[in-house]
């Protein structure tokens, strides 16, 4: 399992797309936080925080993570190596989790450089250290849970097709719907008393809760459940291919 895990990471980092994806993620966030004259601009905002990062990053993740996961199984199927992989002394779940944790590790790699933004604001404040450290770390945890969920969705999409582009587009759509779709349905106010329940089905509601600095066990359980659901669906997809 660990051999496959390292293989997945090495394969991504040895390809140009790996560095392009991570660079684009950092560049987009840096431009919105430091250059573009939007509400997210730290220098114009006048407050010692990086809240804009946690607003922008989920939308960048909608494209970044599908780009990371799209080749996980789709490339194996297209090249015909999936059969060879299945003959190795690994269970389906070991294969899935090796690819899952490799994808999650790459997401963490993309987030680590953003700590530069945090330390910059920490030092640039009118009073050094005048930043809500606890709230910032809670927001990072929320971003990790969000990334972990998107990775599971991306793996599932990659497992049901042989084409990387199809896997990418499908993952972008499902990630968007789970993140913003239920929020959009809620805003229409079509279902009366159950509108609020519909809102809680979406990732956005639980991500916003953690980003406020409150790590509620219900939010943690929600993220773990959604990620677990798509991992199970990925397992079922692999089993169906064997039949």
**pLDDT at site 83:** 67
Quick one: average pLDDT of 99-110?
92
Give the count of domains, the chain. 1
Is-contact 72 161, C-beta < 8 A? no
Confidence (pLDDT) at 242: 61
In this model, does residue 243 exceed pLDDT 60? no
Predicted model pTM: 0.92
User: In this predicted model, what pLDDT tens digit does every residue of 164-210 receive, in sequence order?
Assistant: 999 999 999 999 999 999 888 888 877 777 888 888 899 998 999 89
**pLDDT for 227:** 96
Lowest mean pLDDT among 34-43, 47-56, 110-119: 34-43
Query: Binning pLDDT at 50, 70 and 90, where does residue 125 land?
Result: low
Q: Supply the pLDDT for residue 107.
A: 92
- Neighbouring C-alpha atoms within 13 Å toward the C-beta of 16: 0
Give pLDDT tens digits for 45-89. 666 678 888 989 999 999 999 999 998 888 777 776 776 777 677
Give the residue with greater pLDDT, 192 vs 96.
Answer: 96
Residues spanned by the domain of 14: 2-242
Calpha distance 24→107 (Å, rounded): 13
Q: Which one has a higher pLDDT value, 236 or 9?
A: 236
User: Rounded distance, CA 220 to CA 80, Å?
Assistant: 37
DSSP 180: I
State the CB neighbour count (10 A cutoff) for residue 209. Answer: 18
Q: Distance between CA atoms of 82 and 86, rounded to whole angstroms? A: 6
The more confidently predicted of residues 223 and 43 is: 223
Through-space distance between the first and last CA atoms of the chain, rounded to whole angstroms: 24
How far is the C-alpha of 237 from the C-alpha of 224, rounded, in Å? 20
């Amino acid at each position: 399992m660990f051999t496959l895990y390292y293989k997945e990471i090495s394969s991504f980092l040895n390809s140009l797309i790996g560095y392009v994806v991570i660079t684009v993620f950092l560049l987009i966030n840096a431009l919105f936080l430091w250059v573009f004259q939007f509400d997210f601009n730290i220098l114009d905002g006048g407050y010692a925080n990086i809240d804009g990062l946690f607003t922008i990053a989920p939308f960048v993740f909608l494209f970044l993570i599908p780009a990371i996961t799209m080749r996980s199984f789709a490339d194996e199927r297209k090249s015909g190596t999936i059969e060879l992989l299945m003959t190795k002394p690994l269970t389906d779940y070991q294969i899935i989790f090796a690819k899952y944790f490799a994808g999650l590790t790459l997401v963490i790699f993309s987030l680590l450089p953003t700590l530069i933004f945090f330390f910059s604001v920490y030092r640039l404040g009118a009073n050094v250290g005048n930043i809500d450290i606890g709230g910032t770390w809670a927001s990072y945890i929320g971003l990790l849970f969000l990334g972990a969920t998107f990775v599971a969705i991306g793996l599932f999409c990659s497992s049901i097709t042989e084409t990387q582009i199809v896997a990418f587009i499908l993952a972008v759509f499902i990630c968007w719907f789970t993140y913003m779709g239920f929020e959009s349905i809620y805003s229409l106010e079509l279902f009366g008393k159950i509108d609020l329940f519909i809102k809680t089905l979406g990732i956005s509601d639980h991500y916003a809760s953690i980003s406020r600095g409150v790590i509620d066990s219900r939010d943690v359980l929600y993220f773990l459940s959604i990620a677990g659901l798509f991992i199970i669906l990925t397992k079922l997809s692999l089993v169906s291919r064997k039949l």
